[in-house]
Amino acid sequence: MKAKIHVTLKQGILDPQGKAIEHALDSLGFQNAGNVRVGKYMEVDVNETDRAKADAQVKQMCEKLLANTVIEEYRYELG
């Protein structure tokens, strides 16, 4: 099964990258682009046919390693 995982900064946490990109877009002439937020997108193959088990594992991976839950949140789809 393939897990598609999105890790993004929690609401209210400063996103320096997003800020810099927004600024760059602006000076490139995309004045109507705003509110840029940057996160990570990961794909992981999970060698597991049982959906519930795979789900539990991906959740654990996120909690333990893929997301820094102090400042980030995550969501994923299994497919």
Partner 1 sequence: MKSLVITQALLEQHKLSEDEYKKILEILGREPNWTELGMFSAMWSEHCSYKSSRIHLKKLPTTGPRVVQGPGENAGAVDIGDGLCAVFKMESHNHPSFIEPYQGAATGVGGILRDIFTMGARPIALLNSLRFGGLDNANTRHLLKGVVSGIAGYGNCMGVPTVGGEIVFNDIYALNPLVNVFCLGIARKDKIFLGKAAGVGNPVIYFGSKTGRDGIHGATMASDSFDEEAAQKRPTVQVGDPFTEKLLLEACLELMSGDCLVGIQDMGAAGLTSSACEMASREGTGVELELADVPRREPGMTPYEIMLSESQERMLMVAKAGREGEVIKICRKWDLDVAVIGRVTDTGKVVLKENGHIVAEIPAKALADDGPRYDRPSSPPAYQEMLQALNHDTLPDVKDANAALLALLDSPTIASKRWVYEQYDHMVRTNTMVRPGSDAAVLRVKGTNKALALSVDCNGRYCLLNPYEGAKIAIAECARNLACSGAEPIGVTDCLNFGNPQRPEVMWQFVLAIEGLKDACEALKVPIVSGNVSLYNETNDLSIYPTPMIGMVGLIEEADRTATQWFKQAGDVIVLLGRTREDLGGTEYLKVLHHREQGSPPLLNLEDEQAVQACTIRLIREGLVQSAHDCSDGGLAVALAECCVSGTDGRVGAVVELQLDGLRRDALLFGESQSRIVLSVKQEQVEKVLEVAMNAGVRASRIGTVGGSRLVIRVNGDQRAAGCTIDLDVTTVHERWALAIPRALGQD
Partner 2 sequence: MNIGVVVFPGSNCDHDCEYIFKDVLGQSVKMIWHKDTLPAGLDAVVLPGGFSYGDYLRTGAIARFSPVMGGVKEFAREGRLVIGICNGFQILLEAGLLPGVMLRNTSLNFICKDVYVKVENAATRFTNRCESGQVLKIPIAHADGNYYTDPVTLAGVKANAQVIFRYCTADGKVTAEANPNGSLDNIAGIMNADGNVLGMMPHPERSAETVLGNEDGRLIFLSMLSAFGKSEQQSRLVGV
CB of 3 to a second copy, least distance (A): 8
Q: Which of 40, 59, 60, 71 binds partner 1 (CB under 8 A)?
A: 71
CB of 58 to a second copy, least distance (A): 8
Amino acid identity at 13: I
Q: Which of 11, 5, 10 is nearest to 64 (CA)?
A: 5
Using CB atoms within 10 Å of the CB of residue 26, give its burial: 0 to 12 exposed, 13 to 18 middle, 19+ buried.
middle
Rule CB under 8 A: is residue 20 a binding residue for partner 1?
Answer: yes
Task: Please name every residue paired with 74 in a beta bridge, in sequence order, or none if there are none.
Answer: 7
* Residue ranges that bind partner 1, judged by CB under 8 A: 12-16, 19-20, 23-24, 27, 68, 70-71
